[in-house]
Chain A
């Protein structure tokens, strides 16, 4: 079974608008971490934001925020004030268990295209 599900293969957003990327996850662990990575066309993987399962507040990093709904097992990424440079593929990922030193499981990704 898929641990991370990203149902939006591709999205278009107008420059300066906000966009929400969906991510749902499946785990029976009480302790886990959720991550978002950005992969521009150049190919590198860039870490954006992290949310721990015990964190009570939603994570924010600049224009990125994570809408964490634990009961629904969702961890949506919100990008505010979109810029042309935000055009990229975005991956949601999860680390299960209490150790910070364990593999991440990735979703299939969502391609975001920002229009001028």
Chain B
């Protein structure tokens, strides 16, 4: 168990709809990252938040948006969904404030599998 919680685990929706994916990071982690993994492909970085502020942006579509709340949980909003948005969406976290040095590995949730029909 990585300590990162993602909901929902599975989601089926129709084109044109909007969905929200939720992520709770490991306790104490300040950074949250969102990645998209389409079928048989690698992980594409979407966006990173650090302590509530956007830190880095990747190949995130304008139809997608994210935010990190004061309690450090994050949401990824996907709107005007298209068939090509079907993918496994991962949230990961890192950066504990405990002061213990780490290698910077990301701790991943189990992912939210989105199917757009």
Contact = CB atoms under 8 A, between A and B. Distances in A.
B89 to A, nearest CB: 11
A44 B42 contact: no
Q: Is the interface on chain A under 10, 10 to 19, 20 to 34, or 35 or more residues?
A: 20 to 34
Nearest to B106: A104
A37 B43 CA distance: 11
Interface in B30-77: 30-31, 33, 35, 41-43, 45, 48, 50, 56, 58
Q: Is the interface of A mostly helix, strand, loop or mixed?
A: loop
Interface of B: 2, 30-31, 33, 35, 41-43, 45, 48, 50, 56, 58, 88, 90, 92, 94-95, 101-108, 110-111, 113
27 contacts: A33-B104, A37-B108, A43-B88, A43-B113, A44-B108, A44-B111, A45-B92, A45-B106, A50-B103, A95-B104, A100-B94, A100-B95, A100-B103, A100-B104, A101-B31, A101-B50, A101-B94, A101-B95, A101-B104, A102-B48, A102-B56, A102-B104, A103-B58, A104-B106, A105-B45, A106-B42, A108-B41
